[in-house]
A = this chain, B = another copy of it.
Amino acid sequence: MEHAKLSQSLEDYLEMVHILRLANGVARVKDIAAALSVKMPSVAKAMIELKKLGLVTQEPYSGVELTEEGERVAAIILNRHILLKGFLIKLGVSEAIADKDACCMEHILSAETLGKIEEFMKVKAPKSIRK
């Protein structure tokens, strides 16, 4: 059973739920909003969508949990983020900018490009910086 592709926006929300749960054990609406620089009602609406998709659960007026499937999808997104950030840092981009740009790239790159970047990171890891 496959889920429809998430919008960039929903991917961001889902990823942030995962990150906050890893960091704090719980993902609260207020913290999701602050982390993504949006207001709480925007988070509430996004959570409604993610619930419909079976990716998160939430008791009324409490923190957001991930379903098993939600955790799986969130982990994929987060891994993409980590890969891309590391890649940009290897190119010499500062950490803050690498993080920000990875955040955009993670939603748009094709599987093929992601695969090539992964290869690049493996092969070229330490020093062999040449063609």
Chain A residues proximal to chain B, CB less than 8 Å: 88, 90-94, 97-98, 100-101, 104-105, 108-110, 112-113, 116-117, 119-120, 124, 126, 129-131
Contact in complex: B130, A113 (CB < 8 Å): no
Neighbour of A91 across the interface among B98, B116, B129, CB < 8 A? B116
Contact in complex: A97, B113 (CB < 8 Å): yes
Using known A-B contacts A124-B130, A126-B131, A131-B124, determine if residue A110 contacts B101 with beta carbons closer than 8 Å: yes
Using known A-B contacts A126-B131, A131-B126, determine if residue A120 contacts B91 with beta carbons closer than 8 Å: yes
Residue of B nearest to A92 (CB): B116
| Bound CA span A92–B94, Å | 25
| Bound CA span A94–B112, Å | 8
Residue of B nearest to A104 (CB): B108
